[in-house]
Amino acid sequence: MRLLQIAVVGMLATIYSFSQNASPGGSSVPHLADGRPDLNGVWDIPYTPDMARGVTGGLPFNAAGETAFKTYDPTKFDYTGHCLPAGLTRLVNTPMPMQIVQGPNNAVLLFEGFASFLVIPTDGREHPKKIEPSWYGNSVGHYEGDALVIDSIGFNDKTKLDTIGHAHGEKLHVVQRYTRNANDTLTFEITVDDPQFYEKPFTNKRTFKLRRDWELMEYSCEENNKDAAEGHIK
């Protein structure tokens, strides 16, 4: 009888532990076995074509930023219309979902939009001393409580912050925070710091929803691309 009681208690403890860690749709923030927040899964991310939404007073342009935005004309050239990489900030603004896969020393962000992926090391490393500017920059990450924090620098200036055309330069510095909540949501915060075009940093906040019934779909920018094939953009 004593052995049976011990077995039952052990089984209940295991079930309780699983409910605390997995907690599908429940009230507890789910965690991995090592204590990190469980961010794994496919997330529905809200389409954000204009990063000024939700920023009190609008984006803090300096004179160069205001001029760059007012003179932007996507009909003359839009890089995404030519299927070039979206750039980091525009990538997390798309209306297509993203998937997070956590490894022991990294986090992988898979984006349906533009069929893009980012591998974020979380092993404590710093940015390289020398970085060749690139479309998605160089990113390193770490965990703060229930949040994954991603710090990114080393961008080229060939992309825009968003669909509407807010500019950025090669000094762009982006910090993203993915905070796991209960009830299958993430609080997403992205802070943009670019002294070339903005007087001060600004932050855009959104809520992502875990979709357990979704899978990422194939995305081909080149197929039936009327923008390029029919001359909508030059």
Per-residue pLDDT of 31-47, as tens digits, reads: 999 999 999 999 999 99
pLDDT bucket at 221, cuts 50 / 70 / 90:
confident
- pLDDT confidence of residue 81: 87
Residues 176, 137 share a domain: yes
Q: With 90 as the cut, is the pLDDT of residue 191 above it?
A: yes
- Mean pLDDT in residue range 88-107: 97
Beta bridge partners of 143: 148
Q: Does any domain span residue 234? A: no
pLDDT bucket at 1, cuts 50 / 70 / 90:
very low
Distances in Å between the alpha carbon of 192 and those of 60, 117, 122, 164?
Answer: 11, 20, 21, 16
Q: Does any domain span residue 105? A: yes
Residues 110, 13 share a domain: no
- pLDDT confidence of residue 67: 98
Residues 220, 196 share a domain: yes
Q: Are 167 and 161 in contact (CB under 8 A)?
A: yes
- pLDDT confidence of residue 116: 96
The whole-angstrom separation of Cα 167 and Cα 159 is 8
Main-chain phi, psi angles of 142, to 5 degrees: -155, 165
The total of structural domains in the chain comes to 2
Name the residue range of residue 24's domain: 1-30
